[in-house]
Amino acid sequence: MHWPDFYVTVWSHMVKKAQHTWQALSDPTRRELLDLLRKGPQTTGRLCEPFDVSRYAIMKHLAVLERAELIRVYRKGRQRFNELNAAPLKSAVDAWIQHYKSFWGTNLQHLKQHIECKTNSGERRMPQDAATDCGFINIEMDIRIKASPERVFDAITSEIDKWWAYRVCKGGAPMTLDATPGGLFVESDGKGNGLVWGRVLQIDRPNIIRIEEPMGNMPLPRSGAHIYKLTADGDHTIVKLTCQQMGQLSDNDKACLESGWKELIETHLRKWIEDGVECDKMVDDTCGDS
């Protein structure tokens, strides 16, 4: 299986984040607060008005929602504003639904294998190397790059074509990443051919880039997300990359992902930022082939 085919998967957001989201939503008062914020940012005082409880109690509920990243808090003068952040909610719902997608995908795949796989005697059998279990992979790595977080952020987003080596289209089709919420991470050759590699779920310039991945490019149910977190360290930036995959995973998938991300970030991204060296495009990587 080639790297691009392995990597572009059904998206399922970070499991721990989803658990925090469900915990925050377990209280009816917090759900009502989120409903109020659907109308737009509101001050803490305004949010307290509809409730027959103390301001202190509402503040505690808002703190839980903020820790779960369901709201963003900012100040204008002496007023504290609260703003809805629906992205983790969508992620949690998609993660929950994904379990059922995986169930049906697994059973349909087994049916396909049952129909297609025969022994010489005509008896049908399941291939021994078929992936049958739902697994989870979490990969984290820290890469130190000599540049400011702003510079690294720009390189990851607007200059991704210079360092993202993997391609599906022959001829090294250009890659673009629209660094806005809902923006697409796309490879397109300009002739109607290409691939949507992902969709931006969260942008917090210049510190966080969170990308989900679309459904439809894997033969078996699989989900994934990757997040870049940038932290200043003197005249360097620490790039913390988190990649998570869930679904039907083979024994060598984790090693494939680790080596692929290490090459992308530690080698290609760093060389582009520090030395101005553009990477060679690889259309047919064999990592993961059996």
What are the residue ranges spanned by the domains of the chain?
Answer: 3-14+133-275, 16-88
- Tell me: pLDDT of 124 over 60: no
User: What separation in angstroms does the CA of 273 have from each of 23, 143, 162, 164, 281?
Assistant: 40, 13, 10, 13, 17
Residue pair 248/135 in contact (Cβ under 8 Å)? The answer is: yes
At 216, the pLDDT band (50, 70, 90 cuts) reads: very low
Instruction: State how far the Cα of 190 lies from the Cα of 174, in Å rounded to an integer.
Output: 9
Residue type, 42: Q
pLDDT given at position 97: 57
Q: What is the pLDDT of residues 22-79, one digit of tens each?
A: 788 889 999 999 999 988 999 999 999 999 999 999 999 999 999 888 999 998 988 9
pLDDT given at position 134: 60
**Predicted TM-score (pTM) of this structure:** 0.54
Residue type, 72: R
Strand partners, 195: 187
Residue pair 207/231 in contact (Cβ under 8 Å)? The answer is: yes
| Strand pairing report for 175-177 and 184-188 | antiparallel
Residue pair 106/131 in contact (Cβ under 8 Å)? The answer is: no
DSSP 8-class letter at 218:
-
Q: What is the mean pLDDT of the chain?
A: 79
- Tell me: pLDDT of 223 over 60: yes
pLDDT given at position 214: 64
Put the strands of the sheet holding 42-43 in their side by side order: 42-43, 79-84, 71-76
- Tell me: pLDDT of 8 over 60: no
State the architecture of 16-88 in CATH terms: Orthogonal Bundle (1.10)
Flag the least confident range among 16-30, 88-102, 270-284: 88-102
H or E element that contains 196 = strand 194-204
Same fold, 3-14+133-275 and 16-88: no
Other CB atoms within 10 A of residue 171 CB: 10
- Tell me: pLDDT of 209 over 60: yes
Measured in degrees and rounded to the nearest 5, phi and psi for residue 26 equal -70, -20
pLDDT given at position 110: 54
> Could you tell me how far CA 20 lies from the centroid of its own chain?
17
- Tell me: pLDDT of 106 over 60: no
pLDDT given at position 112: 57
The superfamily CATH assigns to domain 3-14+133-275 is START domain (3.30.530.20)
